[in-house]
Amino acid sequence: MCQALKAQYAVTLIGVHPKKETYKGIAIIPFKRFHNRQLRVLVGWLLMFFKAMQVNARVYHLHDPELIPCGLLLRLMGKQVIWDVHENIAEDIFDKPWIKHQKRAYTTFHFFEKLACQYFYIVLAEKSYEKRYKLLAKRWRTVQNFCDIDFFKPYEQAHFQNLKSVFYIGIVLENRGILQIIEALHLLKLKGEVYDFHCVGELYTDLENKMKALPYYKEVEAQLHFHGRLSLEEGYQYAKRCSMGLCIIWPMKNSIESYPTKLFEYMAIGLPVITSNFPLYRSVIEQNNSGQCIDPFSAIALSDAIESMHRDVEKSEQLAQNGKLAVKKYYNWETEKIVLARVYEELLVSVK
């Protein structure tokens, strides 16, 4: 988004970053990363407000729901505010086990959500969110979070690489099928097939403990490569070592109605995809013949899918080429950034 907007506007990005710098024409201001979630929600928005006011922009584009109070203060200061909705946040509250008093959290969020819809311009990352927000929001548009093909060109594989390595990038939680992936690797090893798993993302302690408690963990430990939280550029370097992209998400209200961005990223670089068998995901993978959809709880189904892709190289090559073609035709950022530009035009015309 920053790159798309900088052609017309001076753009400043405030976010978690190691230092203050200008990168590719974008001024970056570092913001403290809160490891304590409660502290982040209670204090983060206020600290962000002071950082935001130092920039003195005309438009502020927020990407986190806990920053809604910050946005409301910015509106009081006469600024225009966009809230970018990336997930079905209201429903997602009940799928996050670390949130205590979920009903109370939902009530609190809905209160601030209604204020945001009243005073902000709402940008939706998914069409499925339209049903909720067209009733709540005064002004809204859908700008789908598809991938920038040019960004992923350096990681694009010309042909299917028949390597015994699989790839995942994103938040590393149990509901991302990590335990099923480890079990699938164990099942394959029992057949004499040893696959490496390259995982980019922050590994949470509770999941690490669950992994280590698996009776077969030691047998596959050497095959597990957890690279931690990295930039997208650094993370996708590891994809070059892999032949398949994994997106094994459990069925939750938010996940079954939302595209996982990694789905399109894998396709863009030529990785056949193995993903959950939700209707929305199947509409991408099966209709474009770019991978396989499986039961996300079945390690057996996952191990079978990995094995079949490895054995049928000709078919996997076709899946890889189909994925790249589908992204270029249907799921790319070029068309969406035009919609984003219209959002900013509408906002800035309204304050002239």
Three-class secondary structure of residue 35 per DSSP: coil
CA distance 140 to 137: 6
Please tell me the CATH code under which domain 149-329 is placed.
3.40.50.2000
Q: Average pLDDT for residues 132-159, to the nearest whole number?
A: 93
User: Does 351 have pLDDT greater than 70?
Assistant: no
In sequence order, what are the residues at sequence separation of 6 or more whose Cβ sits closer than 8 angstroms to the Cβ of residue 26? 2, 3, 6, 11, 12, 13
Nearest 5°: the CA angle 8, 77, 45 is: 90
Segment 239-272, tens digit of pLDDT: 999 999 999 999 987 788 889 999 999 999 999 9
Q: What share of the chain is helix, strand, coil (3-state, %, to 5)?
A: 50, 15, 30
Burial of 94 (0-12, 13-18, 19+ CB in 10 A): middle
No. of helices (H) and no. of strands (E), the chain: 18, 13
Mean pLDDT computed over 131-153:
92
148 pLDDT tier (thresholds 50, 70, 90): very high
98 falls in which pLDDT band (50, 70, 90)? low
Distance CA 293, CA 279 (A): 10
Q: What is the pTM of this model?
A: 0.86
DSSP state of 125: S
Beta strands in the chain (DSSP E): 12-15, 21-23, 26-30, 59-62, 80-85, 121-124, 139-142, 165-169, 196-200, 224-226, 244-247, 273-276, 291-294
User: Once rounded to an integer, what is the mean pLDDT over residues 142-165?
Assistant: 93
The amino acid that residue 309 corresponds to is: M
Q: In the prediction, which pLDDT does 107 show?
A: 81
Contact criterion met (CB below 8 Å) for 113 and 232:
no
Give the residue from 86, 78, 80, 93 showing the smallest Cα distance to 41.
93
Q: Is the pLDDT of residue 219 over 90?
A: yes
What is the predicted pLDDT for the residue at 40?
Answer: 79
pLDDT category of residue 95 using cuts at 50, 70 and 90? low
Domain boundaries of the chain, sorted by first residue = 2-146+333-350, 149-329
- Quickly state the pLDDT bin for 143 (edges 50, 70, 90): very high
pLDDT of residue 258: 86
For the beta sheet containing 244-247, the strands, ordered from the edge strand earlier in sequence to the opposite edge, are 224-226, 196-200, 165-169, 244-247, 273-276, 291-294
User: CATH homologous superfamily of domain 2-146+333-350?
Assistant: Glycogen Phosphorylase B; (3.40.50.2000)
Closest CA to 167 of 240, 255, 258, 251: 240
**Contact present, 180 and 302 (Cβ < 8 Å):** yes
pLDDT tens-digit map of 23-77: 999 999 999 887 777 777 788 899 999 999 999 999 999 999 999 999 999 999 9
Give 84's strand partners.
Answer: 123
Instruction: State the residue for tokens 């015994």.
Output: 164
Place of tokens 């109370």: 104
Q: Residue 255: what are its φ and ψ, rounded to 5°?
A: -70, -35
Tell me the pLDDT band of 290, cut-offs 50, 70 and 90: very high
Predicted confidence (pLDDT) at residue 223 exceeds the cutoff of 90: yes
